[in-house]
Structures are given as C-alpha cells and as structure tokens.
Amino acid sequence: MLIPEPVQSLIDAFSRLPGVGPKTASRLTFYLLRGDETLSVELANALAGLKENTGYCQQCWNITTADRTLCEICSHPQRDPAQICVVEEPLDVLALERTGGFQGHYHVLHGALSPIEGVGPEDLKIAELVARLKVGAVKEIIIATNPSMEGDATAMYLQQQLANRGVRVTRLARGLPVGGDLEYADQNTLLRALAGRQEMDQE
C-alpha cells in the first residue's frame, strides 16, 4: 500500500459524499494532513454529534435539536398554524425562511414520490400531514414541492389526499424566474408562464 491505511480510509469516506470524486477526496484528506489538528478534530466531533444531538420535530418533521419535541417554528407564538407550507426537504424550509415572506408553519415530507426509485406515499410524511388537519384549525396547505417530475407527482397526490377536507390547497406559482432572461427560459417554463398569466391590476 503506497497510501497509508489511515489516509486511504479517509479518502474512501470522503469519496462516498455526493459530488466528491476520488481526486477531491485526496485533496481534502491531504489538506487536513498538512494543516493543524483542530480542523480534523472539529470535523470529527461535529460528525459524531450530528445524529446524536439532532432529531425531528414531531409536528412538522423538520430537523431540530434532540432535546426538543417541537421545532422553533412550530413552538413560536407568532407563527400562524392556520397555514402549512409542504416541502420536500429541510433545506427547502431554509430557502423559504430566507425570503421572509411566510409566517405560517411547515411540513417536511422527506422526499418526493418516485416510482423509479421505489419511493411511495408510505415513505413520506404524508399520513402525518393528513393527521395535522384533524387536530388544528388549518385553513390552507401551500404545496411547495420542487418543480420537477417527482415534485409534480407528489403535488398531484397531495391534492387528491387533501381534497374535500374543508382546507384550501394551493401551490407555489410557476413562471419566469425573477432576474431571468425570457430568451433563455425553457419551453415548459414559458408555457407555464403563459398559461398562468395574471391581470396586471391584480398584482
């Protein structure tokens, strides 16, 4: 073995991360080898504590610290429990929170329906979402799944599951991205933008 085993095993572990190939894994490993020990130790500790110290909010299934039953958003007195925004992943909550445009609660599905990858409704937090309708005074469900094949399929399925329950079901608008260029928009985006055109005085 030309590469010492402790070095090779870190290269192998890094290589299993998404978007990290063997070359990048080597570079990261040798960077850590060359640098002082603090960064390796901090990374190791953060990794060891990651699963141990985190858990899921028992209402919206977003990630929270292990000592909490409800996350900060669900337990915040100023957030409106009548609106629930449904997203695929915890990172989507962060993206929406950064906009500052939503003051309701969330629901994290932890994925999207995908027959090809064998992800069915029972693999997602869909039953948990339906159960929330029975408890609280929910007025609106905003579906914010990704604008992809899987996200669309998930939105359609949710729409069926949530129909006739006395709750308004909406979905994030589709159209041209702000700051984008019309000539670079793909056909589907343009078609959606045309179909979903709005009266200008309504904006």
Alpha helical stretches, state H, the chain: 5-15, 22-34, 37-52, 90-99, 126-135, 149-162, 187-195
Residue 84 binds a second copy (CB under 8 A): no
Stretch that binds a second copy, among 24-32, 79-87, 122-130, 161-169 (CB under 8 A): 24-32
Q: Is 57 left (phi over 0), alpha (psi -120 to 50) or beta?
A: beta
CB count within 10 Å of CB 74 equals: 20
Cβ at position 18, least distance to a second copy in Å: 5
Q: How far apart are CA 146 and CA 111, in angstroms?
A: 10
Figure out which of the listed residues 97, 131, 180, 196 binds a second copy, where binding follows CB under 8 A: 97
SS3 label, residue 168: strand
Stretch that binds a second copy, among 41-49, 130-138, 155-163, 166-174 (CB under 8 A): 41-49
Figure out which of the listed residues 21, 22, 43, 188 binds a second copy, where binding follows CB under 8 A: 43
Q: How far apart are CA 127 and CA 30, in angstroms?
A: 47
Say what the alpha-carbon torsion angle 154, 155, 160, 166 is, to the nearest 10 degrees.
140
Stretch that binds a second copy, among 86-94, 118-126, 142-150, 156-164 (CB under 8 A): 86-94
Residue 9 binds a second copy (CB under 8 A): yes
Figure out which of the listed residues 21, 22, 31, 165 binds a second copy, where binding follows CB under 8 A: 31
Q: Where do contacts with a second copy occur on this chain (CB under 8 A)?
A: 1-7, 9-10, 12-14, 16-20, 24, 26-34, 37, 39-54, 63-65, 72-73, 89-91, 93-94, 97, 110
